[in-house]
Structure 1
Amino acid sequence: MARKTPKKSTRTVRLRERPGRLMRWMLRYLLRGILIVIALAFVATLTFSAVNPPTTPYMFAEGRRVGGVNQTWVPIEQIAPSMARSAVAAEDANFCTHWGLDLTAIRAALADGGNRGGSTISQQVVKNVYLWQGRSWLRKSLEALMTPLVEAVWSKERILEVYLNVAEFDEGVFGVEAAAVHYFGVQAKDLSDVQAARLAAILPAPKSRSASQPTSFVQRRATSIRDGAATIAADGRAGCFE
């Protein structure tokens, strides 16, 4: 008689199936997590396309550190056009022509060894409104993923409006309205071309530069920004927000 092959025990089968079940469970929950994150990002992006952010992570942290912040939100219609042009000329001259990531500027920054920034205004808005400060790969990756979404949902005018209202201009001073009063005693809508250029000139390092008492470096940079603002107005690169 032929010898019968002994049947595998139920316990042995279950043990062999357990790694496969665990992997499927992990993949299922990972996928759910990714979908939840995407949904939350879309909701957050859609919300702030119409609702002004009440604060930002950095503004909140600075407020706790210095005992409060000075910020007054103003719509872009109440900001001097020269201020909007100056900010774009200083930080992102191709603002109207890219989709959130300026690959040319990124390549130039990499070629320069990281000594200059490659972030667009759109990226800075995403970082300031939704993320945190720093240079970690995680933050940069989230920034790169969220920026095209913001560009797809928000108008260029809205992106620039939010940027000008949450940018830091001095310790505890956020937004162009508070900055205009702080440095020059005027409202944002009354800024002159020179004043607007000086405010834009201090944006990369607001804690160490002054718009009302500019160093020779800030004066030279402001002059360059003023010329750049006139250039983008003449060649049409300001058309998406004017």
Structure 2
Amino acid sequence: MIKGLENKPYEERLKELGMFSLQKRRLRGDMIAMYKYVKGSHGEEGASLFSAALQTRTQGNKGFKLQERRFHLNIRKNFLTVRRAVRQWNSLPRSVVEAPSLEALNQRLGSLGDISKSFCELTDAAEVGAYLDLNVTSALCLTAGLLQAFPARPGLRRTVVNISSLAALQPFKSWSLYCTGKAARDMMFRVLAQEEPDVRVLSYAPGPLDTDMQEEVRTKSRDPKLRQIFLEMKEEGKLLDCDVSARKLLDLLLADTFESGAHIDFYDP
């Protein structure tokens, strides 16, 4: 138990540590299991639990909506809490359920947000709140909790690295959630640098990395010009290898000449 949390209620402990409740963790696990049953390693078992639902509307994850099969035994019906899992799966945006791999699914469950939507289409407060909870609130609470757990003392060096993005500084069409989250985190860690001068704080933008997230950007971004820009970067070999960007970050940390709270991009000299 972290010091200072012993007598606090469960909800307050979660908030201070930036952790999700058991219910949210279970839901995330359900969605990962659903992916395995629908598209992954347990496809045969999934066919006995779910069937494709007939589509009469074009909204949502068309083509991947499911309905539970009829069961004679409750033990079968309640496996994976089928009804709950199917309902939540069907509510996911298409960009999530079309993830090409389990790793990509994990990223899309809480990373870019729905980049197929324009600003004016983001009217679901629960969707926006869930995104900001995962990408902003949790980062704040977890960092604060860790700094409390490891207070300043002689010989202890504390460094916080926020993985930022050009999107923290520059707007991109249909990236309302992603840009908002990145900008908020940058400012959040600038405040930390001001309040805690003994903590070294860096917001590092790793550049356009060649990852599954980039594939989502090229195929799911609402703006066709933006999709084309990133497609050309891929075709021309201008996307960065993750190892190259990681080495730049390590060099920055070892040199330790940056101003605490600074935003530094891979391409900065």
Relative CO higher for 1 or 2, CA cutoff 8 Å, sep ≥ 6? 1
TM norm. shorter chain > 0.5: no
TM-score calculated relative to the size of structure 2 = 0.24
TM-score calculated relative to the size of structure 1 = 0.26
Q: Select the structure that is richer in strand.
A: 2
Q: Select the structure that is richer in helix.
A: 1
Greater Rg over alpha carbons, structure: 1
